[in-house]
């Protein structure tokens, strides 16, 4: 892996690894075509030389934002160890095969929920969502739950990654990695 991606993987391992929700929860900020920003927490579900992977409904607000403006910023923050990583870059949909592979590895209830929920759409009553879940539970009884075409993965390809390590007296250590061709340029920033 490339230098900042390897460092991010090590920092995630330092706080418990990819099996811990608090280690992989990241704030993801998107903006629509009018540059109206929106942020939410998603789970980092993959990391390699290509970038960071997360999964969601393509029809959610973040999916709509990314269709209009395929760029995002993300932040992972671990207060216990006084570390954060900021990431900025372009976003694209993952190949269907990669989305299928991840979807099929999810618990059955999570797969059914992807069918039941029209993410980000208004809901009159929670009971209606439960009814939709029960409907899809019955529809796919005894079968594998296929991935809905409205659900899949995204790849955030970093162009900038900033690593922040808290230090005493607010003398924090900040290193900015900027993509240069096939490599990275590192710059120390003042706190």
Q: Please say if 170 is a catalytic residue.
A: yes
For the residues of 133-144, what is the DSSP string, one character each?
A: HHHHHHHTTTS-
**Among the options 40, 83, 170, 174, which is catalytic?**
170
Question: Alpha-carbon distance 114 to 25, whole Å?
Answer: 19
Task: Strands of the chain (E only): list them.
Answer: 25-31, 37-43, 46-48, 51-57, 71-78, 83-93, 151-165, 173-180, 183-189
Rounded (10°) CA dihedral 184, 164, 153, 3 = 30
What are the catalytic residues? 170
């Amino acid at each position: 892996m490339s230098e900042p991606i390897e460092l991010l993987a090590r920092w995630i391992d330092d706080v418990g690894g990819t099996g811990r929700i608090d280690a992989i929860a990241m704030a993801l900020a998107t903006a629509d075509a009018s540059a109206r920003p929106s942020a939410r927490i998603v789970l980092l579900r993959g990391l390699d030389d290509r970038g960071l992977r997360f999964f969601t409904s393509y029809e959610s607000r973040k999916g709509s934002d990314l269709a209009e403006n395929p760029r995002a910023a993300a932040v992972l923050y671990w207060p216990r160890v006084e570390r954060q990583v900021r990431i900025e870059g372009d976003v694209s949909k993952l190949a269907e095969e990669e989305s299928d592979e991840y979807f099929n590895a999810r618990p059955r209830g999570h797969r059914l929920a992807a069918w039941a929920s029209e993410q980000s759409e208004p809901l009159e009553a929670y009971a209606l969502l439960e009814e939709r879940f029960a409907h899809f539970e019955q529809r796919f009884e005894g079968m594998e739950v296929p991935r809905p075409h409205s659900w899949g993965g995204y790849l955030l390809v970093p162009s900038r990654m900033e690593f922040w390590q808290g230090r005493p007296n607010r003398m924090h250590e900040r290193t900015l990695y900027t993509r240069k061709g096939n490599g990275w340029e590192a710059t120390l920033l003042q706190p």
